Amino acid sequence: MAERLVYADNAATTSTSPAVLEAMMPYLTEVYGNPSSLHQKGRIAKAAITEAREKIASLLNCKPNEIYFTASGSEADNWAIKGIAYAMKNRGRHIISTKIEHHAVLHALESLEKEGFEVTYLDTDSEGRVTPEQVAAAVRIDTILVEVMYANNEIGTIEPIREIAAAVKEKNPKTLVFTDAVQAVGAIPINIAELGVDMLSLSGHKIHAPKGIGALYIRNGVRINNLIDGGGQERSRRGGTENVPYIVGLAKALEDAVGGLDEGKRVEAMRDRLIDAITAIPHTRLNGPKEGRLPGNVNVSFEFIEGESLLLLLDMAGICASTGSACSSSSLEPSHVLLAIGVPVEQAHGSLRLSISRDTTDADIDYILEKLPPIVERLRAMSPLYNG
Ligand SMILES: *Cc1c(COP(=O)(O)O)cnc(C)c1O
């Protein structure tokens, strides 16, 4: 048994906070009514959804009727992309995105390509950034949608979304702008009114709510097709009986995350301690930027090491980490994000992502910094390519 257990995979998922669970509890037990029912059990459930929607809208600075609940961040991403593509296909079939998006976005786009849509995947610089000029230059008369993620889940790069949205609208006011903000919401301040995007997605389990709840902001006036037809839920735009406890939990989690954004400073300080100490190990590179990086993200590549072996030994030492995104960690393909920013294949194979959160303590960082360097040294000693 390891002396300690350190969870450093918060970009994959976070713990459900006790406060969130407590807020959800009544709706998992006695308040079980269907929000569409007219009797009191239904009305109480419906009131809880209304309150959650208002809370989320006020925290993100949009209108309550612009927030739609979904079953995940992936669903919100799929809905925004496919819903716009199908609604706008007679106006144009060109979409712009980047090479470093989450698979929920990339695979939705690939599926549209099979149906005859054309997608431009923008390159990023070596730190994972796209520029407003670069995006605007790709916008055409038939560009119906631009999607750029707010912050990258693997390397933590924060994109200039506000400037990108402005540049797109200046080039073509009819082009809609969507941002996958799943990693950004709750980690950095977000003000939708100032941002100027038409759509924005978020997910509960990345901000200490449970897995299986997300939301999509859709600006009033945007024409979008449904992804899930059904009853009249979510103003007839997303069928399915509402997941009342999870909706309540999402609102509570967002409230606590936004209320605790100052915690970001403490998380950032821990992140920088990790980055400084780990990059001091020879033949190690930081992936992603030093500035303009998510407070909880560390991503490094170690030469002469396989990321999978590293993960295994860290796991044995009680440290939960990942090589890149959780979704692709079971495949041995190198990360598409690292390849896109120009990391050589061998180094992409030797990558490690440590993602921390407000749950993380200085003692956790001490522990990682005690265990990691000797493990790296041990693995390198076994590599035929490494000679000190
Ligand atoms: C986790 C994540 C998603 C998917 O959200 P789920 O709720 O897990 O479906 C989408 N985009 C980004 C950037 C993510 O980090």
pLDDT digits 0-9 by tens, 59-75: 999 999 999 999 999 99
Centroid of ligand 1 to alpha carbon of 203 (angstroms): 6
Mean pLDDT of 230-253: 97
Centroid of ligand 1 to alpha carbon of 73 (angstroms): 5
Look at residues 225, 242, 259 and tell me which one is the last residue of a structural domain.
259
255 and 265: one domain? Answer: no
Domain presence at residue 107? yes
Classified as helix, coil or strand, 294 is coil
Domain presence at residue 1? no
pLDDT digits 0-9 by tens, 140-168: 999 999 999 999 999 999 999 999 999 99
pLDDT over 70 percentage in the chain: 97
CA 186 – CA 59 distance, rounded (Å): 10
pLDDT digits 0-9 by tens, 113-125: 999 999 999 999 9
Range name among 176-180, 207-211, 240-244, 323-327 with the lowest pLDDT average: 323-327
169 and 307: one domain? Answer: no
Query: What pLDDT, on the 0 to 100 scale, is given for residue 3?
Result: 83
Look at residues 244, 259, 274 and tell me which one is the last residue of a structural domain.
259
Look at residues 259, 288, 305 and tell me which one is the last residue of a structural domain.
259
pLDDT class of 330 with cuts at 50, 70, 90: low
244 and 347: one domain? Answer: no
Centroid of ligand 1 to alpha carbon of 364 (angstroms): 25
Is residue 282 predicted with pLDDT exceeding 90?
yes
Query: What pLDDT, on the 0 to 100 scale, is given for residue 281?
Result: 97
Number of domains in the chain: 2
pLDDT over 90 percentage in the chain: 93
**Ligand 1 lining (C-beta closer than 6 Å):** 72-74, 77, 102, 104, 149, 153, 180, 182-183, 203, 205-206, 214
Mean pLDDT of 343-371: 96
132 and 244: one domain? Answer: yes
Nearest by Cα to 272 from 303, 302, 298: 298
Q: List the CATH number of the domain containing 355.
A: 3.90.1150.10
Domain of residue 355 covers: 6-15+261-381
Query: What pLDDT, on the 0 to 100 scale, is given for residue 260?
Result: 87
Q: List the CATH number of the domain containing 151.
A: 3.40.640.10
| Residues in a beta bridge with 129 | none
CA 119 – CA 94 distance, rounded (Å): 6
DSSP state of 100: T
176 and 294: one domain? Answer: no
Sequence-distant (≥ 6) Cβ neighbours of residue 19 within 8 angstroms? 252, 256
For residue 176, the tally of other CB atoms under 10 A from its CB is 26
Catalytic residue among 166, 327, 339, 369: 327
Query: What pLDDT, on the 0 to 100 scale, is given for residue 262?
Result: 83
Is residue 16 predicted with pLDDT exceeding 90?
yes
pLDDT digits 0-9 by tens, 92-102: 999 999 999 99
Query: What pLDDT, on the 0 to 100 scale, is given for residue 387?
Result: 77
Concerning whether 327 is annotated as a catalytic residue, the answer is yes
